[in-house]
Amino acid sequence: MSVVEVNGPAPYEVRIGSGVVKGLERLTTGSRVALIHPASVEFMAAPLRGRLDRVIDIEVPDAEAAKTSGVLAGCWDRLAEAGMTRGDVVVGLGGGATTDLAGFVAATWMRGIRLIQVPTTVLGMADAAVGGKTGINITAGKNLVGAFHEPAAVLCDTDALNHLPIREMRSGMAEIVKCGFINDPRILSIVEADPATVLDPESDAFAEVLTRAVGVKASVVATDLTESTSRGDKVGRERLNYGHTLAHAIEAHQHFTWRHGEADAVGMIFAAELSSRELGLSRQTVDRTREIMAGLGLPTTFEGTAWPQLRATMNLDKKTRGTMLRFVGISAPGKVSMIEGPAEEELQECFATLRP
């Protein structure tokens, strides 16, 4: 097992390893537990219901279908029926969408109660469950309603990943690779050395890159929890958005049929191309980006006709200020700088390199 500490205003631990979910019993002693989970992780929910003292079991829809105001209100009603008070705890058991919803339930119930996240996907472990971003979607867009509410603990039980389809493993690995490009290049060399092994959740290589990625996330959110606006090479939490400006537009364009990490893979190639033009990133690192994504079986191309629609969607990116697009770039692996208001022709040129 490994432990990563998140040393923000209210420090907490992220425990990573086989069987760590058993620690939930000790963390919740004496409290009622609202266990929020989709049916797909019943194999983990059932033993927890047996072991924990007083559980209010709340089953929610899978994936993004959980992040609606209707599902949220249903959770509040269940907490009210059960008489949950400030001494009680919400547990989010599932992928990133479930932990986002559970986090927002905890953030809003009685203006904030204790939250423990138990992510069951690589994406949830490496990103969503750590750092206190919580929320739901509305018709106008993803994650437009939410709050920062940090968990009291995060339990990343890697046994959960044995049930994960390979497509989900690959998608989560894109987020881990992102941490390699922005902060910890050692992740990149481990992935390059043996991409097939790193996708095996029982391998030492996987445990190492996951722990390193959680370490990156922990150090970033500890110093900039609420995502201040970055300038030049002073880049806080926004750095976690490397590749995401195009990726979010691709996800919307594909009506969320692409996994988040699949869109991130293409988005990081675009961001590397842009970084090469704006920040002098070496062509070797741009090629390396493509090779790493291809080696993991992630997409590396996107249809050229989609540009006008993708470009329009990027105007609504959360990093945009006024009409100025802002991208996270790198001048070398581990060296991040903001790219603000790049020329339209340059963006088109970068996008053109993605043609199949």
Site residues (CB under 6 A) for ligand GLY?
127, 131, 133, 237, 240
Quote the least distance from Cβ 117 to ligand GLY, whole Å.
13
Scan for tokens 């959980």, then name that residue: 66
Element at 308 (helix H, strand E): helix 307-314
Q: Give Cα 9 distance to the centre of its chain.
A: 21
Quote the least distance from Cβ 10 to ligand GLY, whole Å.
17
What is the rounded distance in angstroms from the CA atom of residue 230 to the CA atom of residue 247? Answer: 20
Q: Which residue is nearest to ligand GLY (CB)?
A: 240
Quote the least distance from Cβ 68 to ligand GLY, whole Å.
20
Structure token digits, residue 42: 């019943």
Quote the least distance from Cβ 290 to ligand GLY, whole Å.
23
Q: For residue 228, give the DSSP letter.
A: P
Q: For residue 159, give the DSSP letter.
A: G
Question: Would you say 131 or 195 has its CB closer to ligand GLY?
Answer: 131
Tell me how far apart the 2 most distant CA atoms of the chain are, in Å.
61
Question: Would you say 256 or 307 has its CB closer to ligand GLY?
Answer: 256
Q: Give the N- to C-terminal CA distance of the chain in Å, as an integer.
A: 42
Question: Would you say 127 or 278 has its CB closer to ligand GLY?
Answer: 127
Question: Would you say 34 or 102 has its CB closer to ligand GLY?
Answer: 102
Question: Would you say 52 or 338 has its CB closer to ligand GLY?
Answer: 338
Question: Would you say 131 or 299 has its CB closer to ligand GLY?
Answer: 131
Quote the least distance from Cβ 35 to ligand GLY, whole Å.
24
Question: Would you say 133 or 149 has its CB closer to ligand GLY?
Answer: 133
Quote the least distance from Cβ 43 to ligand GLY, whole Å.
27
Quote the least distance from Cβ 237 to ligand GLY, whole Å.
5
What is the rounded distance in angstroms from the CA atom of residue 120 to the CA atom of residue 45? Answer: 11
**Contacts (Cβ under 8 Å, ≥6 apart) of 80:** none
* C-beta contacts of 230-237 below 8 A and 24+ residues apart: 230/338, 231/338, 232/337, 232/338, 233/335, 233/336, 233/337, 233/338, 235/328, 235/336, 235/337, 235/338, 237/131
Q: Are strands 133-138 and 141-148 parallel, antiparallel or unpaired?
A: antiparallel
